[in-house]
């Protein structure tokens, strides 16, 4: 059995009982950097062999890991921080397990994107996660042009030395767009800056940025600021505009950025 085990993103105490128990029972633990992960194992008295599994040897390693899993070995995969597979190695191994019909599971825990989303104050009921932004300004710009229309919060990981440049680019497209910048989450100097791009840029430009960052961008304004009528009224209104009930439900869900189920439930409750 293979276990994807989430580990802390800064604060060593952020690890679940199940994660520790899983790491303790495995035959060996795959990690990006054996020296770095040793610190975690020492803190939790986990005495298991560490084997390196990182983006440069992922392909090579997969075959032997699959053989070990077939032989009945219990293997855990961790990354330097957070949830393996999320902007970290892991996906290739998950695919190989699926291909070979081998079981694997994910032991949930810390993740920088979701931790930042909760702190951001931006909408949490619809969001997209894009991982790291591309490096070329042209590519970032076209991505921004697209995501500024997304009707929910966009979450990206950004490196400290590119953050200001990225925000200057965003300013050219929408200076008034609300953003949040979550820095050093769960660590001593954790902070979350909230404001519009043009409000936050001057304070970020003042000093070189250090640490780890998550950038969150408010969804399309019309969506965020729209005040909708109660759900049943909204659906009736759309039906009066000529849509069938099913179409009106679908449209209301799209407009409000919620799952269709939520619309059905609200209508159903009323007709009980």
Given 14, 68, 74, 184, the residue binding ligand SAM (CB under 6 A): 184
| 135-143, 184-192, 195-203, 257-265 -> range binding ligand SAM (CB under 6 A) | 184-192
**At its nearest, how many Å lie between ligand SAM and the CB of residue 85?**
8
Name the token pair of 31.
């990690």
**At its nearest, how many Å lie between ligand SAM and the CB of residue 49?**
22
Mark 30-59 with x for binding to ligand SAM (rule: CB under 6 A) and - for no binding: ------------------------------
**At its nearest, how many Å lie between ligand SAM and the CB of residue 57?**
16
Closer of 150 and 157 to ligand SAM (Cβ): 157
Mark 79-108 with x for binding to ligand SAM (rule: CB under 6 A) and - for no binding: x-xxx--xxx--------------------
**At its nearest, how many Å lie between ligand SAM and the CB of residue 81?**
5
Calpha distance 58→141 (Å, rounded): 31
* 9 is a contact residue toward ligand SAM (CB under 6 A): yes
Closer of 109 and 257 to ligand SAM (Cβ): 109
Closer of 214 and 235 to ligand SAM (Cβ): 214
| 147-155, 177-185, 221-229, 250-258 -> range binding ligand SAM (CB under 6 A) | 177-185
Query: Could you tell me the sign of the dihedral formed by the alpha carbons of 183, 188, 189, 193, in that order?
Result: positive
* 10 is a contact residue toward ligand SAM (CB under 6 A): yes
Given 14, 212, 224, 247, the residue binding ligand SAM (CB under 6 A): 212
Calpha distance 6→109 (Å, rounded): 5
Closer of 4 and 150 to ligand SAM (Cβ): 4
* 157 is a contact residue toward ligand SAM (CB under 6 A): yes
Name the token pair of 86.
């999320």
* 185 is a contact residue toward ligand SAM (CB under 6 A): yes
DSSP string, the chain: -EEEE-B-SS-TT---HHHHHHHHHSSEEEES-HHHHHHHHHHTT----EEE--TTTHHHHHHHHHHHHHTT--EEE--SSB-TTSSSTTHHHHHHHHHHT--EEEE----HHHHHHHHH-S--SSEEEEEEPPSSHHHHHHHHHHHTT-SSEEEEEE-TTTHHHHHHHHHHH-TT-EEEEEESTTSTT-EEEEEEHHHHHHHHHSS---S-EEEEEPPPHHHHH--PPPHHHHHHHHHHTT--HHHHHHHHHHHHTS-HHHHHHHHHHHH-
- Contacting positions for ligand SAM (CB under 6 A): 9-10, 79, 81-83, 86-88, 111-113, 157, 182-187, 212-214
């Amino acid at each position: 059995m293979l276990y994807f085990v989430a580990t802390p993103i800064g604060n060593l105490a952020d690890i679940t009982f199940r994660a520790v128990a899983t790491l303790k029972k495995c035959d060996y633990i795959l990690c990006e950097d054996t020296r770095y992960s040793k610190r975690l194992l020492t803190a939790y008295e986990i005495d298991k062999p560490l084997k390196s599994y990182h983006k440069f040897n992922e392909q090579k390693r997969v075959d032997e890991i699959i053989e070990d899993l077939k032989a009945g070995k219990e293997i855990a995969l961790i990354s330097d921080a957070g949830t393996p597979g999320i902007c970290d190695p892991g996906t290739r191994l998950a695919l190989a397990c699926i291909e070979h019909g081998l079981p694997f599971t994910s032991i949930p825990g810390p993740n920088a994107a979701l931790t930042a989303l909760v702190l951001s104050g931006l909408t949490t009921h619809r969001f997209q996660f894009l991982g790291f932004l591309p490096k070329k300004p042209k590519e970032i710009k076209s991505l921004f042009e697209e995501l500024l229309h997304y009707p929910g919060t966009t979450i990206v990981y950004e490196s400290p030395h590119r953050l200001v440049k990225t925000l200057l680019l965003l300013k050219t497209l929408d200076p008034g767009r609300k953003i949040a910048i979550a820095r050093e989450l769960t660590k001593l100097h954790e902070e979350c800056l909230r404001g519009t791009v043009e409000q936050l840029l001057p304070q970020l430009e003042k000093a070189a940025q250090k640490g780890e960052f998550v950038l969150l961008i408010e969804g399309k304004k019309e969506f965020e600021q729209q005040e909708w009528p109660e759900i049943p009224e909204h659906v009736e209104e759309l039906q009066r505009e000529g849509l069938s009930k099913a179409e009106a439900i679908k449209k209301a869900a799209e407009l409000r950025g919620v799952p269709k189920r939520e619309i059905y439930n609200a209508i159903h409750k009323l007709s009980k």
